[in-house]
Structures are given as C-alpha cells and as structure tokens.
Amino acid sequence: MVRGDRFSDENGVRLNKLGITDPQQLALAETDSSLLRLQRLNVQGGIPGGRYDHAHLKEVHQKLFEGVYQWAGETRADREFQGHKPTYVTGFKETMTYAPYQEIESRLNAIGEHLGKENNLKGLSKEKFAERAAYYLDQYNHTHAFRDGNGRTLQATFVQLGKEAGYQVDFARIDPATLNRARDLAMVRPHAPQEAEKNLQALKAMFEQVISPAPGLEAERLRDPSQARPLAALSPQMKAMDARRELEVTGYRVMDIVANMPGAGNYEKGVAVGKGVEATNLNPAAVQTHLAQFKQAAETVVKHPALQGPDARQDQLDAKRLRAAAEQVSEIAMDRGTAVGEQRSPGAVPLTREEAQTAFKVAAAQIALGLRERNQVLAATRLQAVVAHVERNPYLGGLNRENVGKALDLAAQMPGISGSTELTKLKGAVEVLEKVHRGVEQDARTAPSAKRGSGELER
C-alpha cells in the first residue's frame, strides 16, 4: 500500500464513498460492485460512439467504479501519481514502469487515433484480430491510465472493440493469472525490437482463447475483409513512445547488472544509470544529459570479462539494446528540437501560454541539472520545485518567480550554461508566464471567488 498518494488515506486505504477503512473489506466491496457494472456495460455494448481514446477510457472507468470511489473516472494525472511495479515473470526481478502521468491524455489519444486508422480492427481474421488486439492491449496497459482498475477497464474496452469488429470476447474463459503473466511479459519486453512480435506472443495466445466469431449477419459483415484497412505506419508520437519504452526496460536491467558487478563504485554507477532512466522517462530531453552515461554503462557490460559466454547472452543483449535505444531517443529529441527551431528562431518568446509551459518544463529541468552538477544544489532544488508548480499552473509570480530569477542569475555566470539554448528558452518562457500571472492577478481582484469542486481534494 502507498500512503498519502492522494488516492488513499493516511493508512494506504483507497478513498471511498462507503467509509470503509479495512482494505480487505474494501476489496470485496469493489469487486462486487465493479463486476456487476462490468457485466451490465458489456451487455449494453460499451460506450456509444466511443473512440478508444482518453475520454472513452475515463468514461469506462467511471461507470465501473463510481459505486465505490469518488475518484472513479480520474486518471493518475488528476492526482499526480506516477508509480511502478515489480514482476518476476522472467524469473528475475523486473521493474515495470508506466507512462508519465503528465502524458496519459496525449498517449491514450495517440493510441486511439492509431486504432482508428485500422478501422478499429474490423475485417480481420480471428488470428489477425488476436495479434492486433494484443498490440493495443499492451499499449493501453503501459499507459496505465488509472490508479486502480486498469484491468477491468481494459476488459470492458476490448469486449466492446471485439463486438464492434464481429467477435465475442469473453475473459472468463481464462484464469486471471494467465492474463497477468501475458501482460507482464509484454511490459518487460525480453526480446529485442527485431523480434518484437515474440514479446506479444503470450498476449496473442490469450486473445485466441477468449475470442470467437459472433453469430449473425451483422457480425459477418463486420468481419468481412472489405472492412479491413492496411496496417498504418506509426505516428511520430507512437514511435517516440516505443523508443522510450525500450530505453526503460533495458536501462533498468543494465542498472541492476552494473550495480551488482564486483568492484569499487559499480553500485553507485548502477544507481546513477537508474536515475538517468527515470529522468528520461519523465522528460525525454534529459537523454542528452545522460546519453554518454548510458553508452558507458553499456560498454562496461559488453566488455566485462565476467559477462562473456552463453550464460551472459541476455546481459550482453540488454546492454546493446540500451545503447541503441538511447541513441534513438536522442535522435528523436533532437529532431523535435529542430522542428521547433524551423518554426521559430532559438530563444524566440513562445506565442502561447501552453507553449511557454512546455518550454519552461524542458528548459528548467536541463538548467537544474546543470546547476546541480556545479554544486548549486539549493538553486537547482528550488528551480525543480517551480517546475512542478508550472506543470499544474502555467503562471509565475511571487516566491516562484524569485527562485527562478536567482537560478537564471547563477546560470548566466557559469561556463557551459551561460549563453546556452536552454537558458535562452527558459528566459523566453519566463517572460510569457510572468505576464500571464500578472494578468490573472489583475482579473482576480475583480472576479468573484471560485468554489472548489465537491470532489476535489485539498492539496
């Protein structure tokens, strides 16, 4: 149990409408309520007109859990929960990380859009439907939109997807352990990208057990090959998401390998790799700071005399995969920066508040790293605290603006940071965010006070 995560009380029990404080009683109440609602939703055919995007999955979650939780329908982003989970599905301890909560909405929309390009899997044979359903379930599972209830939300989602493609999907045909194992194997990706289909074999086999052609002429029409669409190329966003996943799974494995190598300082080096992976997961631009570190860790594993031979094949493979993934994430990050640079000159003031908010988060994170490396820990910590504030509220004023100003002054005096593109972008973003703040303050003096929504928690 996680205490104080804003979905839970001080004892780690999920906040609930029923006033239950015992976790076992709450689990029973949640199961009884959600399974009845799941059956009802499946009979109704799911969400009318659903597009399998952010709004769709939120509505599914709300309908399943609103009988128990006041936060039904809220994603991890609504209460700023990240989280990760261990698994031993490969025989070794693996770390399953999920999409950054800040990206949940954009990722679900990207997945739903890509699914739509495949006509929501209409016109496919049973085998092909199982194959593509496995791919999308893995994508949704890695995004892991909700604090709890992801499994039942996805079951309802794929029952609807199957029905609309001419198939019956009945997860009761398998035991939950089979589904959980298949999902975990897909998450940790033991096979390299060149053999990506092997990571989804267990999920595909699971779907082949739970799907069957639905009866009736309408179901036959939905399965007709004329309904199928060619497999769409991945969008730039989907490619970037996939590259970061590859870096995460291999990065954490290399972290463990290096940390457990004999020799002074290897444990610390391994921990540093893990921190770099986490930083890049939350902010892909951070890969530029950690790229050399990732490559060095991979090289250490590849050349280590104790990690040669068939017994170390997986370690060698993971190290090479990490190096390739880090380079790919770096290229994507640089391409994105080039695309932005083609539209505006470096350091140009962002035109909108949203652009300023994004530019501030990326640039401030880089400047904070630079300050920390130069032993300006306090200034870096304060700047990172402002980053967290700006993620929630795209305004700068008061103490936050003062702390940013101090960080800017320090950075301007330091070789390697002064005159950098990141510092210029940060200054431009600050100009927009502080102007917005002054305007909001002025409006607030004349506007009626807003009431806090009944379901919102005090922060």
98-148 pLDDT tens trace: 999 999 999 999 999 999 999 999 999 999 999 999 999 999 999 999 999
pLDDT of residue 101: 93
Cβ pair 185, 88 in contact under 8 A: no
Per residue in 3-33, pLDDT (tens digit) is 558 999 999 999 999 999 999 999 999 999 9
Helix %, strand %, coil % of the chain (to 5): 65, 5, 30
Q: Is the pLDDT of residue 211 over 80?
A: yes
Q: Is the pLDDT of residue 234 over 80?
A: yes
Cβ pair 263, 203 in contact under 8 A: no
Query: How is residue 294 written in tokens?
Result: 């990732």
Per residue in 329-346, pLDDT (tens digit) is 999 887 765 443 334 444
Q: Is the pLDDT of residue 294 over 80?
A: yes
Task: For the beta carbon of residue 49, count every other beta carbon within 10 angstroms.
Answer: 6
Between CA 69 and CA 181 the distance in angstroms is: 27
Per residue in 54-96, pLDDT (tens digit) is 999 999 999 999 999 999 999 999 999 998 889 999 998 888 9
pLDDT of residue 199: 97
pTM value? 0.74
**Phi (first) and psi of residue 85, to 5 degrees:** -150, 135
Per residue in 309-325, pLDDT (tens digit) is 898 999 999 999 999 99
Q: Mean pLDDT over residues 427-448, rounded? A: 59
Query: How is residue 180 written in tokens?
Result: 């959980």
Find the length of the chain. 459
Q: Is the pLDDT of residue 415 over 90?
A: no
Angle, nearest 10°, between helix axes 287-303 and 313-343?
160
Cβ pair 76, 83 in contact under 8 A: yes
- H/E segment holding residue 83: none
Q: Mean pLDDT over residues 168-195, rounded? A: 95
Q: In Å, how far are 19, 192, 299, 321 from 316, measured between CA atoms?
A: 52, 12, 9, 9
Task: Show Cβ contacts of residue 321 under 8 Å, excluding neighbours closer than 6 positions.
Answer: 192, 193, 246, 250
Coil, helix or strand for 205? helix
Q: Average pLDDT of the chain?
A: 88
- pLDDT higher for 162 or 452? 162
Handedness of CA 435, 391, 244, 309 (dihedral sign): positive
pLDDT of residue 436: 55
pLDDT confidence of 414, banded at 50, 70, 90? confident
Coil, helix or strand for 13? coil
Q: Mean pLDDT over residues 221-233, rounded? A: 95
Coil, helix or strand for 213? strand
Between CA 189 and CA 95 the distance in angstroms is: 11
Find how far residue 307's CA is from the centre of its chain: 32
- Report the candidate in 150, 165, 139 with the shortest Cα–Cα distance to residue 76: 150
Share of the chain above pLDDT 70, in %: 90
* DSSP secondary structure of 90-145: TSS-EEEE---GGGHHHHHHHHHHHHHHTGGGTT--HHHHHHHHHHHHHHHHHH--
Q: Mean pLDDT over residues 228-257, rounded? A: 94
Cβ pair 13, 68 in contact under 8 A: no
pLDDT of residue 447: 36
Cβ pair 163, 190 in contact under 8 A: no
pLDDT of residue 456: 28
- Report the candidate in 146, 2, 26 with the shortest Cα–Cα distance to residue 11: 2
| CA max distance for the chain | 74
Between CA 392 and CA 390 the distance in angstroms is: 5
Between CA 255 and CA 93 the distance in angstroms is: 12
